[in-house]
Amino acid sequence: MKTTNTLLAMAILASSSAVFAAETMTFEALDVDGNGSISKEEATAEASVLTKFDELDVDGNGELSQEEFAHAE
């Protein structure tokens, strides 16, 4: 029983860490192709950025620059 509780606690901790990591993704982590901007497709990896994408894309070019991304944080 003690082993089961320990394993359950470890699983919960691991899943909560994954959620925290997803909510704090950096510009570099989202810029998968390394071209210096985040496309809408790349933004799908971070829900909080994706939901604000059109608002953050001030110049309307369909990509987020580092400057535009900084306003998401």
Mean pLDDT, the chain, integer: 80
Looking at 24-70, list the stretches that DSSP marks H as alpha helix, in order from N- to C-terminal side.
27-30, 40-43, 47-56, 66-70
pLDDT in tens, 42-63: 999 999 999 999 999 999 999 9
Q: Does 10 have pLDDT greater than 70?
A: no
Residue 10's φ and ψ, nearest 5 degrees, are -65, -40
AA identity, residue 1:
M
Q: How far apart are CA 39 and CA 57, in angstroms?
A: 10
Q: Who has greater pLDDT, 27 or 16?
A: 27
pTM as predicted: 0.67
